[in-house]
Amino acid sequence: MSPARSPVLAALAALLLLPPPAGAAAGAEPEGPPLESFRAIVERPLFRPDRRPAEEGEDSGEEFPVEIPYDVGSELRLRFVGTVVEKGRATALVELDGEAGLVRLSPGDRLGDWRVVEVGRDTLLLSDGHDRRRFTLLER
């Protein structure tokens, strides 16, 4: 062992032999602020749009509509490649023209000016308020 390391090892050994700080029981968890100080976090959840806690029995993990900024141009061009169903909620997997990766769309989500109306096992229905466009799974 090099002479330079021996003082470091000696210091570590000395720390291990020191008694715990006064008032600290061995194995006791450190005390933090009282739980009451976190009330605002519980009463106004950050990731809920209405900043209100979930009602009793409501699925607090529910996803809210998503708005995906996307310049559709004159024609909505996407490829519907699959459907995922989780907790009874259908989500469409789509490839957007000119974008890398897959985008997940659920009913209520917005893609530019288009809103997702319905996601079926093999269909996806979008509306811009005037027109409706139905995509079939793996349609080109």
The pair of structure tokens assigned to 5 is 């390391």
Question: What pLDDT sits at residue 60?
Answer: 46
Q: Let me know how long the chain is.
A: 140
Cα separation of 135 and 13, whole Å? 69
The model carries a pTM of 0.51
The label of the residue with tokens 């009913």 reads 107
Task: Catalogue all structural domains in the chain, each as residue range(s) with its CATH number.
Answer: 67-136 (2.30.30)
**Dist. CA 134–CA 117, nearest whole Å:** 10
pLDDT in tens, 77-105: 888 999 998 878 899 999 987 777 888 99
- Residue 18 to residue 21: CA distance in whole angstroms: 9
pLDDT > 70 fraction of the chain, expressed in percent and rounded: 69
* pLDDT tens column, 121-138: 999 999 988 889 999 988
Q: Is the pLDDT of residue 117 over 80?
A: yes
Model pLDDT for residues 35-75, shown as the tens digit of each residue: 787 777 777 776 666 777 766 555 544 556 676 666 665 56
Cα 109 to its chain centre, rounded Å, is 15
DSSP-assigned beta bridge partners for residue 105: 92
